[in-house]
Structures are given as structure tokens and as C-alpha cells.
Amino acid sequence: MEKRNCPRCNNEIEYKRRSYYLKAVRNNTVCRKCVNSIRTIPNDMGEKISKSNMGKPKFPNGRIFTNEHCENIRQSKIGTVQSEESNKKRSNALKGRIFSDDTIKKMRLSAIKRIESQCGQIHPNYNPDACKIIDEYGKKHNFEFQHAENGGEVNIGGYFPDGIDIQKKTIIEIDENHHFNIDGTYTQRDMKRQKYFENKGYDVIRIKFNGDK
């Protein structure tokens, strides 16, 4: 919490974010009370504004919109596609930042929820050959795996395992080349994913995918 004194009345001002504080120092801004005292609105103008706003929905920031305006705003946000420049700025802002596993999980779940609200149920990309391998393994070892072509992939904490036998608490993953590092070990992302499943009480079976099959 950053603090500074108002240059006009000397009252103490608190800032929740350091960026707000630095901006206020740079622009030498005054406190909200001083801002309001500086603004002068004729009495008749204030009365006209008050009457024109009667019955209209109010928002926390003080802005007032009609119901039609609110609906237009809501509709304009549905399916909005960010420009390449906006995406690049957001990407650059996140570079170098380190997030905890819990934060990453929340971000992943939030993204899935947002996509589902705009586009309906998520259907991740999948490999049909992998589904055949899952079925063959299930028949051989007495599992009833649900997968993309048999009931759809199941969402577990934002992860979609290739196959899952819910009754036997068993997950099967068919590992293609992108699951491995150059030295043949699993990527850090894959290990985190497996650890998450195991912490949830699932046994994890991994089968390396052979594209020649």
C-alpha cells in the first residue's frame, strides 16, 4: 500500500497499486475530494441530470446506461476476437513472469469456462489411432475406457486425459512425439499433468505411440 499527501489539501491518499501511486506522483494529481470541489455544475444542470437518470440502472463506477445499451454491450463482447497487436501486448506483458501451479490451474479453468460459454462444450483435438490403441488395451486388460470416440474426453481439473476408466480410477495416456524432450524423457508439462492425476487418486498408464502401427 503506497501513500502520499494531496498537493492541494495535504490529506493522505492511499494507493492499492504501486503503478497508481507512481502515476499520481508523475502527474501531481490531487485527492478525490479536491477534484470534486474543483468541479462546478450549475444548479439547474444538476437537476436536469438527476431527472434524466431516474429509473435507469446504475453501475458501481457511477456510469448510467439504458437497458438497451447494456444489452448492446453484452452482445458486442460475445465472440470478440482480439487483434494481433492486443494479443502481442498481452503476451509480452506475461513474458518472464513465474506463476504458481495453483495460479496456472485457475487460469486454465477460467479459459475453459470462457470458451465453453462462447462456443459450447469443448472437444479437444485427438488422434483416432490413439483411440484404437486405448480400446485394444482396455479389452486385453479388462478396462472400460471412455475417450474421444467413446463418450467424449473427461475434464479433470482442466486436463483432458486420452482415456479414463472412472470405476477403476485409471487413466491411460497415448504419448506422441511432442510429449518427450530431446533426450527421451517426458516434458515438464507432462510430468505435472501426471502428478495432478495421481494426486487425485488415479493410476496412470502411459503407452508410447508408434505412428507406423
pLDDT digits (tens, 9 = 90+) for 147-178: 989 988 888 888 889 999 999 999 999 999 88
User: Same domain for 18 and 54?
Assistant: no
Question: Do 16 and 24 meet the contact criterion of CB atoms below 8 Å apart?
Answer: no
Angstrom distance (rounded) from CA 196 to CA 153:
17
Question: Do 167 and 174 meet the contact criterion of CB atoms below 8 Å apart?
Answer: no
Residue range of the domain that includes 36:
10-40
User: What is the pLDDT at residue 32?
Assistant: 79
pLDDT digits (tens, 9 = 90+) for 66-111: 566 666 666 555 555 556 677 677 667 666 666 676 776 666 667 6
User: Same domain for 24 and 67?
Assistant: no
User: Same domain for 170 and 198?
Assistant: yes
User: Same domain for 29 and 48?
Assistant: no
Band (pLDDT 50/70/90 cuts) for residue 211 is low
Residue 84 domain flag? no
The cell numbers describing 123, all together, are: 472437444
Report the predicted TM-score, pTM, of the whole model to 2 decimal places: 0.47
Within 8 A by CB and 6+ apart from 11, the residues are 5, 31, 33
User: Same domain for 132 and 64?
Assistant: no
Position with higher pLDDT, 35 vs 178:
178
What number of residues does the chain have?
Answer: 213
- Find cell 485457475 and name the residue: 106
Position with higher pLDDT, 46 vs 110:
110
Exposure pattern of 11-34 as b/e (b: 16+ CB <10 Å)? eebebeeeeebeebeeeebbbeeb
Residue 148 domain flag? yes
Residue 108 domain flag? no
Arithmetic mean of pLDDT over the chain: 77
How far, in Å, are 2, 4, 5, 149, 211 from residue 12 at the CA level?
10, 6, 4, 63, 68
The answer to whether residue 213 scores a pLDDT higher than 50 is: no
Residue 182 domain flag? yes
3 state DSSP class of 200: coil
pLDDT more than 90, % of the chain: 28
For residue 200, give the CATH number of its domain: 3.40.960.10
Bridge-based pairing of strands 203-208 and 170-175 is parallel
Considering its fold, how many domains does the chain have in total?
3
Residue 65 domain flag? yes
